[in-house]
Structure formats: C-alpha cells, structure tokens
C-alpha cells in the first residue's frame, strides 16, 4: 500500500506587483504598469490585478511570455552625489540615483532608506528585501553617521541642544552624538550620529535652531564606512559587511541610549 501523498504547505503570499519587485525584475510602480497593460501572466493566465496574492515558491510569473526567476541577492553601496533624488522615476523630471547605475548589468535594486536631493554620501541598494527590512527596522536603532557643514561656529550649548532635541511638527528631533570636526571663522563641520531616521531629520533639527545646513554627507551606516568610494561610484558589499549590518536579525536589537 502506497503511503498517502500530502500537498506541500503554501509559502508566504504577496501581491503580484510586490512579487515582481521582490524577484528583482522591476520597481513596484513599474510592475503595476506592466500588470495593468496585460503583459503579465500568472500560472499561464493573463492577470491585470496587481494585488493578486502570489506564492513565489509555487506560482509561475511571466512578463511578455518570459518566466521571471528570482535574481541572485545583490547588496550595493553608492556614494550618492548631491542633486539626485532617491526614487526610480520622478514626476518632475529630476535626475535620480539610478543614473549612477546606467550601463551596468544589474537586476532591479531598491534603495535601503533615503537621502534627500541636497544630501550626499552612503546609500545602500539591494534586491534582498528581508535584509533591507532588518536594516531599516526602527527597533534596531542602527547608527548612521553624518558630516554636516553649518553656517555658524558652534559652542557647547549648541551641541547640548542637539543632543537634548527639539520638537518640530509634533515630533521630537534629537541626535545620539554631536561633535565638532573642524571650524573656521564663519562655519564649521559637525559629526552627527543618529540611531533613528525621521524625514529630513538633521535639516529640520538645525532649522528649528535657526542654523542653515551648507552640506550634509552620510559617511557611515553601522560599521560600514563610505571610505574613499568616488562620487557617483558603487561597489558590492563583502559577505562580512552584509553580515555585520544584519547582525540585529537575531532579534536582539540593541536598546536605545
């Protein structure tokens, strides 16, 4: 007598548009456009529902008749130049960070976090959504280090105000650490460390103190340093760097200080 056959358990399900993004094929917004234009098939059947649940372990997804397979996991660091927006496409026609990847044979990569248009420096990209979720999870409080040029000469009371924080639009904005790197007669460079990342956090904090930001460069995330990477250049992270940034995935998030 043959033993009974049991169906394999279903895997986690996600919407079709998000599935195409998770597979590294395109951005979620581009996936919506492909689906709505009838170019996507799910298990051999045309599907125009971008939110149709998909089990990537069992379901077959095709675009223009070609199967979409999961791309190998890639983790990149980019030295973002000033003036680029962190988005796949911009409705105002502004240049985006994806111009830095033109001519490179890469699957679709999503930014891990953001830097605003006027900011520069270390920006991560990946198609590894689980890794990205660990890096950006608020409870991990992963340190992010910035070098910030301001339009005044700071004193100890200003550094104390930065650490104590201020309220802006109902949010408390403070820093973990703030020190003076160097200063002249009219401006100075500060090193500021955040363990959280609200929208335009440093700019809003300094603006509330009537201080203008002249330049803002992110130089480190956790143990990962920007180093000598050229402006607009990118490189793959080493396995050790990937592992170091995801050390909080064990669930032992470090407490806030």
Given this model, what pLDDT does residue 252 score? 43
**What percentage of the chain reaches a pLDDT higher than 70?**
92
* 129: CATH: 3.30.70.580
C-alpha dist (Å) from residue 121 to 85, 185, 217: 13, 26, 5
From 31, 48, 67, give the residue that closes a domain: 67
Residue 48, domain member (yes or no)? yes
- The pLDDT tens digits for 22-47 are 787 888 888 999 999 999 999 999 99
Give the least confident one: 35-49, 54-68, 109-123, 126-140. Answer: 126-140
Q: Which tokens sit at 82?
A: 């000033």
Is 3 contained in some domain? no
Q: What is the pLDDT of residues 158-181, one digit of tens each?
A: 999 999 998 888 888 999 999 999
Q: State residue 257's pLDDT score.
A: 47
Q: What is the pLDDT of residue 10?
A: 53
pTM, 2 dp? 0.78
Does residue 7 sit within a domain?
A: no
Question: Is the CB of residue 41 less than 8 Å from the CB of residue 62?
Answer: yes
H-only helix segments in the chain? 16-22, 28-36, 129-136, 156-164, 201-208, 239-245
59 and 92 share a domain?
A: no
Range of the domain at 200: 143-221
Cβ neighbours of 257 (radius 10 Å): 8
Catalytic residues: 116
- The pLDDT tens digits for 56-103 are 888 999 999 998 887 789 999 999 999 999 988 888 889 999 999 998
Do 44 and 107 belong together in one domain?
no
With a cut of 60, say whether residue 200 has pLDDT above it: yes
Range name among 16-25, 182-191, 243-252 with the lowest pLDDT average: 243-252
158 vs 71, 180, 216, CA distance in Å?
48, 11, 18
- Residue scoring higher pLDDT (197 or 102): 102
Residue 23, domain CATH: 3.10.290.10
Q: What is the mean pLDDT of residues 197-219?
A: 93
Q: Mean pLDDT in the chain?
A: 87
pLDDT at 11: 55
Q: The CATH number of the domain where 204 resides is what?
A: 3.30.70.1560
**Residue 53 and residue 88 in one domain:** no
Domain count, the chain: 3
Q: Are residues 124 and 174 in the same domain?
A: no
In a domain, 162, yes or no: yes
Q: Is residue 90 part of a domain?
A: yes
For the chain, list the strands marked E by DSSP. Answer: 13-15, 40-42, 45-46, 53-55, 61-63, 66-67, 75-80, 110-112, 120-126, 144-150, 166-168, 171-173, 177-183, 188-194, 213-221, 224-225, 234-236
């Amino acid at each position: 007598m043959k033993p009974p056959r049991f169906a394999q358990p279903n895997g986690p399900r996600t919407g079709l548009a998000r599935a195409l993004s998770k597979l590294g094929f395109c951005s979620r917004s581009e996936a919506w456009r492909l689906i709505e234009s009838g170019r996507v098939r799910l298990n051999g059947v045309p599907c125009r529902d971008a939110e149709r649940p998909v089990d990537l372990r069992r379901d077959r997804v095709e675009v223009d008749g070609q199967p979409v397979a999961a791309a190998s996991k890639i983790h990149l660091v980019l030295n973002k130049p000033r003036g680029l927006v962190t988005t796949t496409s911009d409705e105002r026609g502004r240049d985006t960070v994806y111009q830095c990847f033109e001519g490179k044979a890469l699957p679709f990569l999503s930014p891990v976090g953001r830097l605003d248009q006027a900011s520069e420096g270390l920006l991560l990209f990946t198609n590894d959504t689980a890794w990205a979720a660990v890096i950006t999870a608020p409870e991990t409080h992963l340190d992010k280090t910035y070098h910030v040029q301001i339009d005044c000469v700071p004193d100890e009371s200003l550094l104390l105000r930065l650490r104590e924080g201020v309220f802006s639009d109902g949010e408390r904005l403070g820093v973990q650490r703030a020190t003076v790197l160097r200063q002249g007669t009219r401006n100075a460079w500060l090193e500021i460390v955040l363990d959280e990342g609200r929208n335009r956090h440093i700019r809003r904090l300094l603006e509330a103190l009537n201080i203008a930001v002249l330049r803002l460069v992110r130089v480190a995330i956790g143990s990962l340093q920007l180093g000598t990477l050229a402006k607009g250049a990118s490189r793959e992270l080493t396995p050790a760097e990937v592992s170091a940034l995801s050390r909080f995935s064990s669930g032992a998030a470090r407490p806030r200080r």
